[in-house]
Structure 1
Amino acid sequence: MYTASTAFLEALNEAGVSHIFANLGSDHPALIEAVAEARAKGRAVPTLVTCPNEMVGMSAAHGFALVTGRPQAVLVHVECGTQALAGAVHNAAKGRVPMLVFAGASPFTQEGELTGSRNEFIQWIQDVFDQRGIVRGYMKYDNEIRTGRNIKQMVHRALQFSRSDPKGPVYLMGAREVMEEEIADLLIDPAAWQPIAPAALPPDGVEAVAEALGGARRPLIVTSYLGRNPAAVPELVRFAERLGAGVLESVPSAMNFPHDHPLYQGNQWNEPRQNPALASADLVLVLDSDVPWIPAVSRPSPEAAIFHVDVDPLKENMPLWYIAAKRVFRADAATALRQLGAALDRSGTDVGSAAASRAHYEALARTRRAELDALEAAEGDVPTPERLTAAIRRHVDDGTIVVNEGISNYHTIFNHLRMSRPGSIFASGGGSLGWCGGAALGMKLACPEKTVFSLAGDGSYMFSVPSSVFWMARQYDAPFLQVVYNNRGWKSPKLSALAVHPDGYASRANEIGVSFDPPPDYAGIAAAAGGAWACKVERADAIESAVAEAVRVVREERRSAVLDVWLPHL
C-alpha cells in the first residue's frame, strides 16, 4: 500500500531529513507499518532513533541541526508526548533551531468507520480540544494534516518555514485515520519549497552604517549567535581587523569570534559589573544578539551611537525588549558584513583611528587574559571550575565539539576553553535546563568522526534524563564525554537571590532549598544505564589524569565517559 505515512516519509527524505527521533505510541501504527515496509523492500527512509524520553529526543534533533544546519524530525505521541517535550520546545524556539515535530492525534472515529478508528480506551482520554495550542506560542508554524493527498506539500511548507530566518521549530499533527489513508503516489518538486534567501541591508542603511563606522574612534561589535552560521565568523574577523574594533560576546550560544584573537573582549553573562569595553565604545554595532547587555548593571555610554543588525531585530516573541539603536535592520550578519566592507572599499574610507582603537582593545584583552591565567594557576586541594576547564582544554582539537550548559559556569567554560574554530562550541540559546545530554548525542550522531564533550552543572545534568541519554548513546554507538561541574546544588538561584537581597534572610540562611547534598552518584547513573566509564574527582591533583583517561575511553574504546568533579560547595 502507498499511504499518507509512506508519502510523509518520502517527503522527509526529499527535504534532507536523515533521522527521526521517535517516542512511539498508539497513534503511530501507520508510520510503524510504513517504516517496516520500506525496510523490507529496500526503500530509503530516515533512520529511526528510539528515544525513551521526548525532551532528550528533541534536544538531540537540536544538537544535530546546530552542527549540520539540517533540520531533523521529532516524532511524539499525541498531546501527552507533545507536553513531554517540555523545555526542549522552549530551547529550540529561543535558539532559533530548525526541526519538524510531528505528533499523532486521537482517532476521530469510534465505530470502525475507517482504518485506524478507536480501539483502545486511552484514545478517549488523550483527545483534547486544541493539541496544537500546547506549543503554538513556540512554533514558527503549526498545522494539522487532514488528508494524505497533500501531505508532501504540508511537510515541505512546514520545513520551508523552519529553515527560513529567523529559523525555528514547526509542528504538524495527524490522526490515525489520516495517516492510514491509501492514496495515489505523490510526486512533487521539493525545489519549490526552498528557504527564503538571506536578507541584506538596504542601500541607504549600508551607507549610513559605513559612514558612522568610518568616523568612529572606538567601535565595538557585540554578538551572541552570529557564529551559528560558520561562514559569518571569518567575515566578522576581517571586518573587526579593518576597523580595529573590539568584539564582545554577550550570552554567546556559539563560537562567534576566535577567543585567542587580540581584539576579543571576552563574554559577558550575569556579572554584576560594568563591562569596560562596552563603557568605552563610541559606536556599538549589535549583530545577532538577544541580550547585548543588561542595562541595570552594564550598558554603553549614553553618547555611543548604536546600530542593530539581526535576523530577528524585533524579538517578536519577547514581550519586553528594546535598545536605543539609531537604526535597526533585519539582515543576515554575513551578508551585512560583506556589504559594509564593500561600502568602505568603495568610499576609500581611511579608518584613521583604527590603530588607536586596536591598541585600546588589545590592552584590555591582555589584562583579561592575565586575570584568567591567574585563576587557572591558583593552588589548593579542591578542584576549581577554572582548573577543570583548563585541563579539558588541553584535550580539545580540531575534531572536538563542545556542548556548554554550565549555567553558573557558562562564562568559565567559554573563558578557559579559548575556542577559536567556528562550529566548535554551542549553548542551547534558551533557558530550559537539561539540554546538554540530548544535544551531545545528536551532535555525535551527526558527526560520528568528531569527539563531543558535554560540560554541564549538576543541576543541568539531572534535568537531562541521563538514564535515557546514556542508554541511547550505547544503543546507537554515539559515545561522548560528560563532565559534571558538581557544586552540590543549584548555584544560579542562590546567586539570583543574593543579587536582589544581598543582606536579606536568605543571605544568612544555611539552607534555602537549592542544595543536592549529598548528591546522587551522577557517574554511576550513566554506568548503570549505558555502560559508561564512571569517575568521581574530589581532589585537584586528580583532575589531569581523570580527564585524560576519560578522553581516551571515549576516543579509543568508543564508550561514553562521565566525570563527576566536586567543586567548592555552592
Structure 2
Amino acid sequence: MYTASSAFLEALTEAGVSYIFANFGSDHPALVEAIAEARANGRKIPKVVTAPFEMVGLSAAQGFAQVSGKPQAVVVHVECGTQSLAGAVHNAAKGRSPVLIFAGLSPFTQDGELKGSRNEFIQWIQDVYDQRGIVREYMKYDNEFRTGTNVKQIVHRAMQFATSDPKGPVYLVGAREVMEEEVTPVAIDMAHWRPVQPGALTAEGVDAILSAIAGARRPIVVTSFAGRNPEALGELVRFCEALGVGLLESVPSALNFPHSNPLYQGSHWNHPFQNPVLAEADVVLVLDSDVPWIPTVSRPRADATIFHIDVDPLKASMPLWYIPAVQSFRADAATALRQLNRRAAALALDMDVVAERRAHYAGLHQRRGAWLAERAKPAEHLTTEYVMARLRTMLGKDSIVLNEGITNYPEILDHIAPDEPGTFFASGGGSLGWNGGAAIGAKLAAPDKTVVAVTGDGSYMFSIPSSVHWMARHYKAPFLHIVLNNRGWKAPRFSALAVHPAGYAANTADLDVNFDPPPDYAGIAAAAGGAYARAVKEVSDVDAALAEGLRVVREEGRCAVLDIWLPRG
C-alpha cells in the first residue's frame, strides 16, 4: 500500500537526504509502517538513525549538512518533541543549515472516523492550537500536510526554501489520518525544484569596491562564514593575494582562509580590546558576517569606507543590526568574489602599492605566529593553547575539528590553525550543546575522516552525552571528544565582571556557576557508549592521552573522551 508516508519518504530520497534522525512517537504509526514496507520490498529510502534525545538528532543533522552541504531530515514527536529540539533549532537557523524537520500532529478525529483516529489518552493532552508557532520564528518555511495527494510537492517546496540562500531549517507537520491516507504515486521532475540561483553584484558595485581598495593603504576583508562554501574560500584567497588585502575573521564558524597564508590576520571574538588590524583599516569589505565587530569594544576607524556583501545583508531575523556601510549588496560570496577577481585581473593596478600591503600584512602575520608559539609552550599547569598545539601535530589533512569551547573559542582555533577547506566548524549559533551531535553527523557525512569535537565542560553537559555516545557506538560514528574542564561556566563570570568590574560579584568566590567537584565526564561516555575514557591532569600526560585517543578512534572504531583539567574557572 502506497500512503502519504510512502510519498514523504520518496520525496526525501529524491531530495538527496541520506539520513533521517528520528525520535518516533504515537503520531508516527504510518511512517514506521512505510519504513518497514520499503525495507521489505527493497525500495531505497534514507537511513534511519534513532536519536534518544531530539536536540542531539537535530545537531547531528546540522553537522552532516555543514560537512556535506546536503540537507538532512529530522523526525520528532508532536509538540513535545518539537520543544525537545531546544537550542538546536536556534543553531540550525543562525548557522544557516539546510535541515527538514517533520513532526506529527495529534489526530483530528476521535470516534474512529478515519484510520489513525485517536486511541491513546496522550493524544488529547498533546493537541495544541499552533504547534508550528513553537518554531516558526526560526524556520525558513513551515507548512502542514492537509492531504496525502500533494505531500511530495510540499516536501520539495520546503527543500527549495531550505537550500536557497539564506539557507536554513524548515518545519512540516502532518496528523496521523493524513499520513495514513492511501494515495496515487506522483512523478516529480527534480529539475523544477532546484534552489534559487545565487545573487550577484551589480557592475557598478564591482567597480566601486575595486576602486576603493585600489586607492586604499590598509584594506581588509572581515568574514565569519564565507568558507562554508569551499569555492568562496578559494576565490577569497585569490582576491586577497591579487590585491594585497588582509583577512580578519570575526567569530568564525567555518574555515574561511588558510591560517598559514601571510595575509591571514587572526580572529576576533569577545576579546575586550580594540583589534589593531581593524583599527588601522581604511577600507573594510564585510563578507558573510553576522557580527563583524562589537562596536562598544572594537570597530573600524571613523573614516573607514565600509562595503557589505551578504545573502542576507539586512539580517531580517535580527531586530537590531546595522553597520556604517556606504554600500550593501545582496549577493552570494563565491559569485561576488568571482566577479571581483575577473574584473581585478583586467585592471592596471599599482603593483608597488600591492607589494607594500602584502609585506605589511606578512609582517603582522609573522609576529602573530611568534606570539602564538610562545603561548603554546608548556607551563606548570595545563593550558588550552598547549593541548591544542600538541593535537595539531597529530592531526593530518583528513581531520575535521568542531569547536564549542566558548571562552576557549579563540585559543582552540588559533592553535589548531586549520588550512584545508571543510576542516573546521562551529555551530554558527549561540545555544550550547551542538558539539556531540554535530560530531556524529560530521562522521556520518565523512566516514574516512577523523572527527574531533572540542568543548567546554558546560557545553559537554548541554550536549546530552549519554545519548550522543550511545548513538556514536550504535551507528559506528566514532570521534575524539575533548572536554576542557575548568569546573564551571566561565562565560557568565566574564559577562558579569565586564559589566560590574568593581561590584559585589567581583569580590565573591562563588557566583553559582561552578561544577566542583565535577561529574566524571569521560566515564559518562564510557558507560553510555563504550568510549575510551581518560582524565588528563598533568602536562606530561597530554601527548600520550592524545595519541591513544586518536588511535582508539582510528583503529578500534570507538569514541574516546579526554577530560582535560584546566585551572579552575
Q: Show the counterpart of 1:513.
A: 512
Q: Show the counterpart of 1:62.
A: 62
Q: Gapped runs of 5+ residues in structure 1?
A: none
Q: Show the counterpart of 1:151.
A: 151
C-alpha distance after superposition, 1:379-409 (max 9, x if no partner): 21x2111111111111211110111000000
Q: Percent identity?
A: 66
CA drift of 1:352 comes to 4.3
What CA distance in whole angstroms lies between the structure 2 residues aligned with 1:516 and 1:91? 25
Structure 2 counterparts to residues 294-443 of structure 1, below 5 A: 294-350=294-350, 352-380=352-380, 382-443=381-442
* Mapped contact 1:116–1:177 kept (Cα < 8 A): yes
1:549 aligned to 2:548? yes
Q: Show the counterpart of 1:487.
A: 486
1:113 aligned to 2:113? yes
The amino acid across from 1:257 in the alignment is F
CA drift of 1:173 comes to 0.2
1:48 aligned to 2:41? no
* Mapped contact 1:214–1:351 kept (Cα < 8 A): no
CA drift of 1:234 comes to 1.2
C-alpha distance after superposition, 1:122-168 (max 9, x if no partner): 00000000000000000000000100100000000000000000000
* Mapped contact 1:277–1:361 kept (Cα < 8 A): no
1:563 aligned to 2:562? yes
The amino acid across from 2:438 in the alignment is A
What CA distance in whole angstroms lies between the structure 1 residues aligned with 2:273 and 2:363? 19
C-alpha distance after superposition, 1:293-344 (max 9, x if no partner): 0000100011110000011111111111000001000111111111112222
SS in 2 for 1:306: strand
SS in 1 for 2:230: coil
* Mapped contact 2:401–2:452 kept (Cα < 8 A): yes
SS in 2 for 1:191: helix
1:129 aligned to 2:129? yes
What CA distance in whole angstroms lies between the structure 2 residues aligned with 1:465 and 1:394? 30
What CA distance in whole angstroms lies between the structure 2 residues aligned with 1:344 and 1:565? 48
C-alpha distance after superposition, 1:160-188 (max 9, x if no partner): 00000000000000000000000111112
What CA distance in whole angstroms lies between the structure 1 residues aligned with 2:365 and 2:424? 21
What CA distance in whole angstroms lies between the structure 1 residues aligned with 2:324 and 2:497? 29
C-alpha distance after superposition, 1:82-140 (max 9, x if no partner): 00000000000001000100000000000000000000000000000000000000000
* Mapped contact 1:105–1:175 kept (Cα < 8 A): yes
CA drift of 1:207 comes to 1.3
Pick which of 557-566 and 496-505 moved more.
Answer: 496-505
What CA distance in whole angstroms lies between the structure 1 residues aligned with 2:460 and 2:347? 53
Q: Show the counterpart of 1:458.
A: 457
CA drift of 1:198 comes to 1.1
SS in 2 for 1:60: helix
SS in 2 for 1:149: helix
Q: Show the counterpart of 1:273.
A: 273
* Mapped contact 2:378–2:539 kept (Cα < 8 A): no
* Mapped contact 2:222–2:286 kept (Cα < 8 A): yes
CA drift of 1:250 comes to 0.2
Q: Show the counterpart of 2:200.
A: 200
CA drift of 1:411 comes to 0.2
SS in 1 for 2:110: coil
What CA distance in whole angstroms lies between the structure 2 residues aligned with 1:83 and 1:529? 24
* Mapped contact 1:4–1:182 kept (Cα < 8 A): yes
Q: Show the counterpart of 2:90.
A: 90
C-alpha distance after superposition, 1:499-538 (max 9, x if no partner): 1111111111010011000000000000000000000001
Q: Gapped runs of 5+ residues in structure 2?
A: none
C-alpha distance after superposition, 1:330-369 (max 9, x if no partner): 1111111111122222333335421221122112112211
Q: Show the counterpart of 1:527.
A: 526
Pick which of 227-236 and 172-181 moved more.
Answer: 227-236
Q: Show the counterpart of 1:235.
A: 235
Structure 2 counterparts to residues 251-266 of structure 1, below 5 A: 251-266=251-266
CA drift of 1:213 comes to 1.4
C-alpha distance after superposition, 1:204-246 (max 9, x if no partner): 1111111111111111000000010011111111110111111
* Mapped contact 1:217–1:354 kept (Cα < 8 A): no
CA drift of 1:189 comes to 1.0
CA drift of 1:264 comes to 0.6
Structure 2 counterparts to residues 182-201 of structure 1, below 5 A: 182-201=182-201
Structure 2 counterparts to residues 9-28 of structure 1, below 5 A: 9-28=9-28
Pick which of 403-412 and 393-402 moved more.
Answer: 393-402
What CA distance in whole angstroms lies between the structure 1 residues aligned with 2:499 and 2:378? 30
Pick which of 132-141 and 226-235 moved more.
Answer: 226-235
* Mapped contact 1:404–1:456 kept (Cα < 8 A): yes
What CA distance in whole angstroms lies between the structure 1 residues aligned with 2:188 and 2:345? 45
Task: List, as ranges, runs of 4+ consecutive aligned residues in structure 1 with deviation greater than 6 Å.
Answer: none
What CA distance in whole angstroms lies between the structure 2 residues aligned with 1:430 and 1:148? 35
What CA distance in whole angstroms lies between the structure 1 residues aligned with 2:429 and 2:347? 41
What CA distance in whole angstroms lies between the structure 1 residues aligned with 2:137 and 2:200? 28
SS in 1 for 2:346: helix
TM-score (norm 1): 0.99
The amino acid across from 1:442 in the alignment is G
1:475 aligned to 2:468? no
TM-score (norm 2): 0.99
